[in-house]
Amino acid sequence: MNSKILVTGANGQLGNELRRLCRTFPGLEFIFTDVDMLDITNPDAVSVFMEASKPAIVVNCAAFTHVDKAEDDVKTVRKINSLAPQVLAAACAMENAYLIHISTDYIFDGEKNEPYTEDDEPNPLSVYGSSKLEGEEKIKTVFDDYVIIRTSWMYSEYGSNFLRNIIAKGKENKQIEVVDDQVGSPTYARDLANCIIDIIIKSILNPMAYLPGTYHYSNQGNCSWAEFTEEIFRLKGIDCEVVKVTTDKYPTKAKRPKYSVLNTSKVRESFGIGIPNWRDSLKECISLLNG
Ligand SMILES: NC(=O)c1ccc[n+]([C@@H]2O[C@H](COP(=O)([O-])OP(=O)(O)OC[C@H]3O[C@@H](n4cnc5c(N)ncnc54)[C@H](OP(=O)(O)O)[C@@H]3O)[C@@H](O)[C@H]2O)c1
């Protein structure tokens, strides 16, 4: 197997973390693309690019990730989150490449009340969740050499995310309301990027170590959005009171699961990786944030 890795959607949170990490692995040759260079919804562009670059592994970080905006633009969302993964899978099958694809906890309805395993029945509540589930299913119709990693509540130093938005709000206000009845596991994009690189290196060194399937990856432990906010403010030294409210007091366009904690045993055991607790990772990310 060669050591060429194609990353799509590389200007986003996860893509940027992979860009940063790749400098530590000069033995791997990365090709980073985003929509301007490779639009994954364009089957011809994807097949030409794949044929010319011949990567061993494709990491698909591209997605339509605005959960509320997705409710108003089903067609675009489906194109990016459902149909494009199938296009990528078909090109991977043609070029004998592996595909590492990222999915979401929002494929679940949140009614379980204990961590979701990979075998639990999905039942998405939103357009975004449905489109991501359809993406998973479409990949599976094309070939078996996929690793689908479902993650949750991702944040990083890059782009627009809950961490950066809530810090800005906390600095502007003395008090803010945050929902306390949605529970999940915040995930530092850097940790997930580390996990992906780990899988890539193990697979390149020994193709038998590439274990196709669906996996759950999030930081360990869980909290509500309000508890997450309290910890962010504590670590950042922001003097803003967090008023805990219920979801019905803070209506959003898209419905979200009230409990979407992921059981991560399978990824830890299959690939022999450790996963940090969300509080430790949040501390690390905040120490790297500017402002
Ligand atoms: N963020 C979360 O909380 C979260 C939670 C669970 C799972 N996930 C999943 O994790 C993955 C990475 O998320 P992220 O937060 O890193 O996403 P992100 O920051 O929104 O980045 C996605 C990137 O994909 C690009 N893109 C959109 N359409 C494209 C196309 N047609 N062709 C190529 N690139 C395209 C976007 O460009 P534009 O910005 O120009 O559109 C953006 O640069 C996604 O699959 C997401 O569904 C995320």
Q: Measure the CA–CA gap between 41 and 81, rounded to whole angstroms.
A: 9
Give the per-residue pLDDT at 171.
97
Ligand 1 pocket (Cβ < 6 Å) reads: 8-9, 11-14, 34-35, 39-41, 61-63, 65, 80, 84, 102, 104, 132, 151-154, 159
Give the per-residue pLDDT at 153.
98
Residue 163 identity: L
Token readout for 101 is: 């694809």
Token readout for 30 is: 């990365």
Listed in sequence order, the residues at least 6 apart from 69 whose beta carbon sits closer than 8 Å to its beta carbon are 253
Listed in sequence order, the residues at least 6 apart from 230 whose beta carbon sits closer than 8 Å to its beta carbon are 242
pLDDT digits (tens, 9 = 90+) for 131-171: 999 999 999 999 999 999 999 999 999 988 999 999 999 99
Nearest CA to ligand 1 atom 12: 61
Nearest CA to ligand 1 atom 42: 12
Give the per-residue pLDDT at 56.
97
Q: Measure the CA–CA gap between 220 and 153, rounded to whole angstroms.
A: 12
Give the per-residue pLDDT at 1.
77
Query: CB-side exposure of 78: number of CA atoms within 13 Å?
Result: 7
Residues acting as catalytic residues: 128
pLDDT < 50: residue spans in the chain: none
Hey, which of 35, 82, 103, 214 would you mutate to test ligand 1's pocket, going by the most ligand atoms within 8 Å of its Cβ?
35
Nearest CA to ligand 1 atom 1: 154
Give the per-residue pLDDT at 245.
97
Give the per-residue pLDDT at 201.
95
Ligand 1 atom closest to the CA of 64, numbered from 1:
27
Distance from the CA of 240 to the center of ligand 1, in angstroms?
30
Give the per-residue pLDDT at 13.
97
Ligand 1 atom closest to the CA of 105, numbered from 1:
6
Distance from the CA of 241 to the center of ligand 1, in angstroms?
31
Distance from the CA of 12 to the center of ligand 1, in angstroms?
6
Hey, which of 19, 38, 61, 225 would you mutate to test ligand 1's pocket, going by the most ligand atoms within 8 Å of its Cβ?
61
Domain regions of the chain by residue span? 4-161+186-220+260-276
Give the per-residue pLDDT at 268.
98
State the maximum Cα–Cα separation within the chain, in Å, rounded to a whole number.
56
pTM above 0.95, yes or no: yes
Distance from the CA of 194 to the center of ligand 1, in angstroms?
17
CATH superfamily of 4-161+186-220+260-276: NAD(P)-binding Rossmann-like Domain (3.40.50.720)
Q: Is residue 154 a contact partner of residue 161, using CB atoms and an 8 Å limit?
A: yes
Query: CB-side exposure of 183: number of CA atoms within 13 Å?
Result: 15
Distance from the CA of 261 to the center of ligand 1, in angstroms?
21
Nearest CA to ligand 1 atom 40: 35
Give the per-residue pLDDT at 112.
96
Give the per-residue pLDDT at 170.
98
Give whole-number Cα distances, 88 to 2, 43, 116, 265, in Å: 19, 8, 27, 28
